[in-house]
């Protein structure tokens, strides 16, 4: 079941920082305590809260950071609420094409 793009990896929230009254930053590691996945600039991740659902969030920590990933999340009306237990998977969309010349 592991490494399937549609199945989230289990992850742990190790820290929650309150940035503004409606924005919190969640620090996330894998069950082994290490960074759950490697990403490159422009990439987002699908975050799951079992029973609530899955949604796309931008990764707000630097790709060069080796210990964890962070997500800064604003409270909205829909389902983007975070809970202590959750899953994360890198999203299937394309990151910024850093090594490719853009047209125009």
Q: How far apart are CA 47 and CA 82, in angstroms?
A: 9
Segment contacting other proteins by CB under 8 A, of 21-29, 35-43, 61-69, 72-80: 72-80
Q: What is the DSSP letter of 30?
A: E
Query: Which lies closer to other proteins via its Cβ, residue 58 or residue 62?
Result: 58
Q: How far apart are CA 79 and CA 58, in angstroms?
A: 15
Q: What is the DSSP letter of 101?
A: P
Q: How far apart are CA 1 and CA 3, in angstroms?
A: 7
Segment contacting other proteins by CB under 8 A, of 4-12, 20-28, 32-40, 63-71: 4-12
Q: Does 97 bind other proteins (CB under 8 A)?
A: no
Q: Does 10 bind other proteins (CB under 8 A)?
A: yes
The residues of the shown chain that bind other proteins, judged by CB under 8 A, are: 1, 4-8, 10, 48, 50-56, 74, 76-78, 80, 84-87, 92
């Amino acid at each position: 079941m592991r490494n399937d793009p549609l199945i989230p990896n289990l992850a742990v929230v190790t820290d929650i920082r309150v940035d503004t009254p409606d924005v919190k930053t969640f620090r996330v590691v894998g069950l082994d305590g290490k960074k759950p996945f490697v990403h490159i600039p422009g990439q987002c991740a699908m975050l799951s809260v079992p029973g609530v659902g899955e949604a796309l969030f931008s990764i707000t920590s630097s790709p060069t950071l080796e210990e964890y990933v962070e997500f800064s999340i604003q409270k909205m009306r829909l389902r983007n609420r975070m809970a202590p237990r959750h899953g994360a998977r890198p999203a299937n969309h394309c990151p910024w094409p850093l090594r490719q010349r853009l047209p125009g």
